[in-house]
Amino acid sequence: TAPRAPRARLHGATPGAAPAPQGKVVVVFGCRGGLGSTTAAVNLASRAARRGFHACVVDLDLHLGDVFVAVDLEPGRSLRAAARDCPQLEPAALRRSLQTHPNGFQLLSQVAHPEEVDVELPRQLPGLFAELKRAYDLVVVDGVRDFGDAALAGLDAASEVLLLVGLDVLSVRRARRVLHLLRKLQYPESRLRLVIADGARVGKIPLAEVEAALALRPTARLRHDAGAAAAALDAGTLLTDGSSSAGRDLVALADALLPSERSRGPGKGAFRFFGKGKG
């Protein structure tokens, strides 16, 4: 789907209305395949849940999303069903209606119901994200790899966009195109975060050259540890449950996104974020 012309963002509050407490939406945008965006998404949510926050992963790859494969669970309620039902549900009831990982976070995907994917589904996503922000402290969005209608709904809802970029020519070139489109569509620069996926063994581009090419300084580095990833998959655990270098990097990134505390705000049990905010 071709990118749309610049348009008004959906982040602003209604003039004169007090803003309702809302959780944070973090989009993980993999700038090429194989960088571990799904691994990052589920581990960020897991770390948040381990710290006592309400966290959810939303997979916007409507046909081939991998979040349930990554955590070895069967898909539950679909995005379409959640979008239909969530306005009638209190936050706690919405959380109970979704598939839950043993670490305490929920997951939401469309892959088990491809017959429901149509032009109407992306139009329902803004309302779904509005309800998820009332129910969760952290909503991590995976499956955003282009600028189709579903991806744009996630980007519109985002508090921060994590651009996962490898230290290779293909990844950096694609990241430049992604950043060009994000800026053209007027997504705030303050919400864009460069995250280096450091998995290349040979042919690495120097980090300084990546920064210069993208005009963006990295805020985090995720080291690749194939052995730890395989061991976690075999054991049915996540990287943030262990002590590998990859797990430690994901813990540090999650903690940077999360506040040091949470405070119950008015209305339906939502939590407001304090500290750590950027932009």
Report in angstroms the alpha-carbon separations of 243 from 228, 239, 256, 258: 9, 8, 18, 20
Mean pLDDT by groups of 10 residues along the chain of 279 residues: 45 48 92 87 97 97 92 92 92 95 96 89 95 97 96 97 94 96 96 90 84 94 84 83 91 92 44 34
- φ, ψ of residue 227 to 5 degrees: the values are -65, -45
Domain boundaries, given as residue ranges, for the chain: 24-258
pLDDT at 272: 34
Structure pTM? 0.85
CATH number of 24-258: 3.40.50.300
Picking from 201, 195, 206, 202, the residue whose alpha carbon sits closest to that of residue 225 is 201
What is the C-alpha separation between 130 and 148, in angstroms, rounded?
A: 19
Report in angstroms the alpha-carbon separations of 242 from 56, 66, 123, 229, 258: 21, 22, 39, 10, 20
Q: By three-state DSSP, how is residue 78 classified?
A: strand
Query: Which pair of structure tokens corresponds to residue 190?
Result: 């303050």
Q: What is the CA 92 to chain-centroid distance, rounded?
A: 21
pLDDT at 32: 83
pLDDT at 12: 39
pLDDT at 173: 95
